[in-house]
Amino acid sequence: MKVGKYYITLFLSILMLCCSSENGCNIDGIYVGQALKTSANASKIDYCTELENALDGNKSSFYKLATHLPGGATNYDHGIVLIQLMCRLKDEDIYEMFLNLSTQDKELLDALVSVGIEYGNNDLNCKKIEAYKSMLSET
């Protein structure tokens, strides 16, 4: 019996470690992994707070996330988060935010969304993301 309790305790400890908020965050159903949080922290961005604020319509937070280039493999995760964020915002808010981006920032956002589409689960339930990609090149 003691061996069984040991394995249960070990399993629960590992589960708690893996699922703790220190390893990432889940903001309104959008998961942000530890690597993405760490890369943002290196740029002095509190990714989870900015995501939460952007979901509430904060344009400054959207801008910080849209223009953040994490680098390496975290670009894919960042692209997926940006897709989920844009799909939850109102079309008119997205359009207004796009208008305030420079051409270089729009190109960066378009690239991040593209890798998010490529890498991500294509079951993101967001039919309007292709329209947003078109808006980036038009605005």
For residue 50, the model assigns a pLDDT of: 97
81 by Cβ neighbours in 10 Å (0-12 / 13-18 / 19+) ranks as buried
Q: Is 30 helix (H, G, I), strand (E, B) or coil?
A: strand
Percent of the chain with pLDDT over 70: 80
For residue 138, the model assigns a pLDDT of: 73
Residue 12 confidence class, pLDDT cut points 50, 70, 90? very low
Helix axes 59-66, 47-55, angle to 10 degrees: 130
Mean pLDDT across the stretch 14-25? 56
pLDDT digits (tens, 9 = 90+) for 91-114: 888 888 888 899 999 999 999 998
| Residue 72 to residue 27: CA distance in whole angstroms | 23
φ, ψ of residue 124 to 5 degrees: the values are -75, -5
| Residue 89 to residue 110: CA distance in whole angstroms | 17
Q: Is 32 helix (H, G, I), strand (E, B) or coil?
A: strand
pLDDT digits (tens, 9 = 90+) for 58-93: 999 999 999 999 988 899 999 999 999 998 998 888
pTM for the predicted model, two decimal places: 0.78
Radius of gyration of the chain (CA): 18
Task: Tell me the two tokens of residue 55.
Answer: 């979901």
